Amino acid sequence: MPAPKRKTMLRQGAGGRAAHDVGGLAFGPIDRAEHDLALWEKRTDAMQRLLTSPGKRAFTVDGLRRVIEDYGEQAYDRTTYYEKWIRALRNLLVEQDVLTREEIERRMAEVRQKHQTAGRRVVKAKVPW
Amino acid sequence: MHDDDDHQHHHHAGHDHAHLPAQKDHDAAPMGAYEVLEEAVRSLLIEKGILTSGEIAAAVDLMDSRSPALGAKVVARAWVDAAFKKRLIKDTRAALLELGIDIGTIAEFSTVENTPQVHNVIVCTLCSCYPKMLLGIPPAWYKSLAYRSRTVVDPRGVLTEFGVELGREVAVRVHDSTADLRYIVLPMRPKATRGWSEDQLAAIVTRDCMIGTALPTVPSRPARRAAR
Amino acid sequence: MVSAAGSFSRPPRFKPGDRVWVPARAALGHCRTPWYVRGKPGVVAAVHGSFRDPERLAYHRPGLPAQVLYKVRFRQLDVWPSYLAGQADHIEVDIYEPWLEPQP
């Protein structure tokens, strides 16, 4: 996803304009290419709706937005919509003591291993906390 | 760690008990870190009984079933039925229920009407709020920093980029969806559609017409059946 | 989440047609009043009803008492110093009551 070439001082939060609060800034021409969602993105959307629904109420959509808004300008601009949301889901599940960091990290290692064993290349990078 | 959950909500028929996750979306692309995270979180939530693979699959299917065709049907009804149009603008949720459309509890919906004097455009500058239950998932451009940042300050420039040119006598009204209301634009019915059926009318109402970045256009010959 | 659209937990401070402005104050954490309308004058276009306060919901608090939500219309000319296109162009933003003050 295209990101500004340099870090600006425009969106620093803490009483000033926050990273997500972009109305009126200049981000260039609009790329109108259409993209299908990957299955993992649809599942992220599904889990978000289920976990914030009246039946579950693990947390609120507002909480998810708040977590996303705290990522900072660089991370905010360089990640896609669903990358932001799955990271927020993870963080709120930990914040609310539904899951622990350790079990998530352990399970991620298992998932990577499983797919590598099955012959799929898995990117080495981690998702920052 | 189980593969069972991958089986249960696999969307492609004919999948057998292979070890490889044969989901079409994976293809040959390497698995990214966020995709790994999604599987890790989902599998943990299922193991702990917080979510089931069935309800996740049902939620995915629900969103897959939503498309702009739903919104187009509503617009077409409003175009042919003036009383329904009035009800739609006054209380969108109730009017949608008349057509069997339940928008759920996430947000309220509000319909804003284009007139010869006013053209409406919808944006969410703070995130990407969008009337998904009526239009399906938003296009990538709606969620982009470029659209979110420019539409409020340069709506006419954005509309020009989308191929919409408005006269100076038309005022542009931008709606920033900052709270729990989701907006859809009710475009003006083109004059050349006199006598058309609802299906024919719905066929010219695109997703972008209901965001405000397009106007319904009449092809040189009206379609005999609604395009699917 | 929609909690009480159309209904009110307490009488709304403003009504449609009221001239208001958004105070130019800092947000403390999660906030749904965009930066570009802070310090700007507008007119109440509609009163939506009461909703739980997102600034509290974002931190696992119940967000009560519910806050009245308004649709506020701003002239583009008032919002952007260099807005040249369309003197009658407006922007409408949904703003919670604590983020509105009456114009003197």
pLDDT digits (tens, 9 = 90+) for A42-77: 999 999 999 999 887 889 999 999 999 999 898 999
**Are B204 and B123 in the same domain?**
yes
pLDDT recorded at residue B168: 84
What number of H helices and E strands is found in chain A?
A: 5, 0
3-state secondary structure of A102: helix
**Are B188 and B76 in the same domain?**
yes
Evaluate whether residue B19 is within a structural domain: no
| Residue B158 Cα to chain centre, angstroms | 19
CA distance linking residue B186 with residue B80, whole number of Å: 13
Evaluate whether residue B112 is within a structural domain: yes
What total of structural domains would you count in chain A?
A: 1
Q: What is the 3-state secondary structure (H, E, C) of chain C?
A: CCCEECCCCCCCCCCCCCEEECCCCCCCCCCCCCHHHCCCEEEEEEEEEEECCHHHHCCCCCCCCCEEEEEEEEEHHHHCCCCCCCCCCEEEEEEEHHHCEECC
| Residue A39 Cα to chain centre, angstroms | 16
CA distance A62 to chain B (A): 10
| Residue A35 Cα to chain centre, angstroms | 18
**Are B44 and B152 in the same domain?**
no
pLDDT recorded at residue B35: 98
Evaluate whether residue A18 is within a structural domain: no
pLDDT recorded at residue A121: 94
Residues from chain C that touch B174, judged by Cβ atoms under 8 A, are: 89-92
pTM (two decimals): 0.90
Evaluate whether residue B11 is within a structural domain: no
Is C34 part of the contact surface with chain A (CB cutoff 8 Å)? Answer: yes
**Are B53 and B88 in the same domain?**
no
What is the Cα Rg of chain A in Å?
17
What domain range is A60 assigned to?
39-117
- Looking at every residue in chain A, the average pLDDT score rounds to 91
Strand-pair partners of B171: B118
Tokens 């057509």 locate to: B99
Q: Of C1, C5, C86, which has the smallest distance from its Cβ to B172's Cβ?
A: C86
CA distance linking residue C90 with residue C76, whole number of Å: 5
Evaluate whether residue B18 is within a structural domain: no
CA distance B80 to chain A (A): 31
**Are B124 and B109 in the same domain?**
yes
CA distance linking residue B180 with residue B129, whole number of Å: 9
pLDDT recorded at residue B224: 60
| Residue pLDDT, tens place only, C14-73 | 999 999 999 999 999 999 999 999 999 999 999 999 999 999 999 999 999 999 999 999
Distances (CA, A) of B151 to B147, B161, C75: 6, 11, 14
**B149 in catalytic set:** no
The closest of A31, A60, A39 to A48, measured between CA atoms, is A60
What total of structural domains would you count in chain B?
A: 2
> Which residues, other chains included, contact A113 with Cβ-Cβ below 8 Å and sequence gap of 6+?
none
**Are B56 and B117 in the same domain?**
no
Evaluate whether residue B42 is within a structural domain: yes
CA distance A25 to chain B (A): 5
Work out the number of other CB atoms within 10 angstroms of the CB of residue A54: 8
CA distance linking residue B31 with residue B39, whole number of Å: 11
Q: Of B38, B51, B106, which has the smallest distance from its Cβ to A86's Cβ?
A: B38
Evaluate whether residue A112 is within a structural domain: yes
Cα B188–Cα B191–Cα B192 angle in degrees, nearest 5: 125
- Least CA distance to B176: which residue of chain A? A23
Q: Residue C80 in contact with residue C23, Cβ under 8 Å?
A: no
Evaluate whether residue A64 is within a structural domain: yes
What CATH number is associated with residue B180?
3.90.330.10
Evaluate whether residue A30 is within a structural domain: no
**Are B155 and B77 in the same domain?**
yes
CB burial readout A21-50, b (16+ within 10 A) else e: bbbbbebeebebeeeebbbbbbbbbbbbbb
Q: Residue B209 in contact with residue B186, Cβ under 8 Å?
A: no
pLDDT recorded at residue B225: 59
Evaluate whether residue B46 is within a structural domain: yes
What domain range is B176 assigned to?
66-211
Work out the number of other CB atoms within 10 angstroms of the CB of residue B220: 5
**Are B58 and B84 in the same domain?**
no
Evaluate whether residue B54 is within a structural domain: yes
Model confidence at A101: pLDDT above 80? yes
Model confidence at A3: pLDDT above 70? no
**Can you tell me the ipTM of this complex?**
0.94
**Are B55 and B70 in the same domain?**
no
User: A49 phi and psi, to 5 degrees?
Assistant: -65, -40
Domains parsed from chain C with CATH numbers: 4-102 (2.30.30.50)
**Are B43 and B129 in the same domain?**
no
pLDDT recorded at residue C104: 83
CA distance linking residue A12 with residue B135, whole number of Å: 34
What CATH number is associated with residue A93?
1.10.472.20
Evaluate whether residue B222 is within a structural domain: no
Counting one residue from chain A and one from chain B, the pairs whose CB atoms sit within 8 A come to: 177
**Are B49 and B137 in the same domain?**
no
**Are B164 and B59 in the same domain?**
no
| Residue pLDDT, tens place only, B52-74 | 999 999 999 999 999 999 999 99
